[in-house]
């Protein structure tokens, strides 16, 4: 009865309880086994992490959504509060309506200025969170795969870029991380009721999918790490250098407004104000945005004049 079970259950046992690497002497007879370089000569169990791949990927996918959810919960609908008028094209409204809409939006922009610091701070925190999650995922996977992920994708490209003849002299990096052929010592019970174990070769077919899936994940994370790093660098430059903020927003206006927008951002608006302006520029028709900038300058000039008059009339 025991013997009839032996051909069917070692594979499941290996997958659940982990398996051992084959001794180096067997490598010539195997198609996809672990690279013998640096292998523990005692052939200790070291493959149990395979069964956790699905769970780990699921948890990482949930973590990736965190920055988006944080932002949606804390954004507060500030940009949306400017209404849908900003998305109308110039042909949809006459000159009077365009002017009235721009004037109304400029007043709304000015009235909400006390909210912009909190809004910009939250946005920057979300960008930092995205940066940390991208890098954290990469190094967590390297730890999870026993230090085999740092150069996983680049090594795979290098290996498969070789000719079939050259590959025979090098270990397949995909097989070193996800071998499909492993050695497994399976315990059982002998005919006399005493403990007996036998060694079997197990084929872990799921690793065919895992090895290719993690190549894609490697390149995707590299892309996200580069993107998030550049994004944080650009944001820091945006905060520190007013002229960069002005140049960034001036791309959204006509050349006739470039001088006004640069003066507006460098002289009259703070970092958080300029950020809101850039967000509005992404969602507003260019003609309306030009008109909006014109009225915003007038509104700010009138506000400064009122403040000066108030100071002059204040008794000493």
**CB burial string 21-60: b at 16+ within 10 A, e below:** bbeeeeeeebebbbbbeebeeebeeebeebeebeeeeeeb
- Rounded to whole angstroms, how far apart are CA atoms 144 and 147? 7
Beta strands in 31-163 (DSSP E): none
3 state SS of 91: helix
Tens-digit pLDDT profile for residues 274-316: 898 888 888 787 778 888 888 888 877 766 544 444 444 444 3
- d(CA 297, CA 72) in angstroms, rounded, equals 31
- Tokens coding 24: 């180096």
Give the pLDDT confidence score for residue 228 in this predicted structure.
95
Please tell me the pTM assigned to this model: 0.76
Q: Is 2 left (phi over 0), alpha (psi -120 to 50) or beta?
A: alpha
Question: Tens of pLDDT along 70-85?
Answer: 888 888 888 888 765 5
Q: Mean pLDDT of all residues in the chain? A: 76
Rounded Cα distance between 261 and 249, Å, is 7
Q: Is residue 39 over pLDDT 90?
A: no
What's the mean pLDDT in 120-135?
Answer: 93
Q: What is the mean pLDDT of residues 133-139?
A: 96
Angle at 102 (CA atoms; ends 97, 106), nearest 5 degrees: 150
3 state SS of 185:
strand
Determine what percent of the chain is predicted with pLDDT higher than 90: 21
- pLDDT surpasses 50 at 190: yes
Asked if 189 contacts 196 with a C-beta cutoff of 8 angstroms, the reply is yes
DSSP string, 224-251: HHHHHHHHHHHHHHHHH-HHHHHHHHHT
**Which pLDDT belongs to residue 216?**
95
**Residue 150, Cβ density class (10 Å: 0-12 exposed, 13-18 middle, ≥19 buried):** middle
Q: What are phi and psi of 183, to 5 degrees?
A: -95, 140
> Which residue pairs from 157-161 have beta carbons closer than 8 angstroms and sit at least 24 positions apart in sequence?
none
Question: What is the structure's pLDDT at 41?
Answer: 45
Region 4-19 average pLDDT: 60
What is the SS3 assignment for 89? Answer: coil
């Amino acid at each position: 009865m025991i013997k009839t079970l032996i051909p069917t259950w070692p594979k499941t046992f290996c997958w659940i309880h982990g398996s051992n690497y084959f001794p180096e002497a067997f490598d010539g007879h195997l198609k996809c086994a672990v690279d013998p370089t640096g292998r523990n000569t005692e052939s200790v169990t070291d493959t149990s992490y395979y069964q956790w791949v699905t769970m780990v990927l699921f948890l990482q996918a949930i973590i990736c959504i965190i920055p988006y959810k944080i932002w949606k919960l804390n954004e507060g609908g500030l940009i949306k509060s400017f209404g849908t008028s900003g998305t109308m094209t110039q042909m949809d409204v006459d000159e009077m309506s365009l002017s009235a809409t721009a004037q109304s939006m400029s007043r709304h922009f000015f009235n909400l200025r006390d909210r912009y610091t909190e809004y910009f701070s939250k946005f920057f925190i979300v960008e930092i969170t995205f940066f940390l999650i991208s890098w954290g995922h990469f190094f967590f996977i390297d730890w999870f795969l026993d230090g085999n992920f740092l150069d996983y994708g680049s090594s795979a490209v290098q290996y498969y870029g070789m000719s079939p003849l050259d590959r025979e002299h090098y270990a397949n990096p995909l097989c070193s991380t996800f071998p499909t052929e492993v050695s497994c010592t399976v315990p059982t019970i002998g005919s006399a009721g005493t403990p007996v174990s036998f060694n079997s070769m197990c084929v872990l077919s799921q690793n065919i999918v895992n090895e290719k899936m993690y190549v894609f994940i490697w390149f995707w994370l590299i892309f996200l790490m580069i993107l998030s790093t550049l994004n944080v660098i650009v944001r820091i430059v945006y905060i520190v250098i007013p002229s960069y903020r002005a140049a960034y927003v001036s791309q959204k206006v006509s050349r006739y407004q470039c001088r006004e927008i640069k003066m507006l951002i460098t002289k009259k608006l703070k970092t958080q104000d300029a950020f809101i302006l850039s967000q509005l520029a992404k969602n507003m028709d260019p003609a309306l945005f030009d008109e909006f900038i014109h009225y915003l300058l007038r509104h700010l000039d009138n506000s400064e004049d009122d403040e000066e008059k108030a100071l002059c009339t204040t008794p000493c």
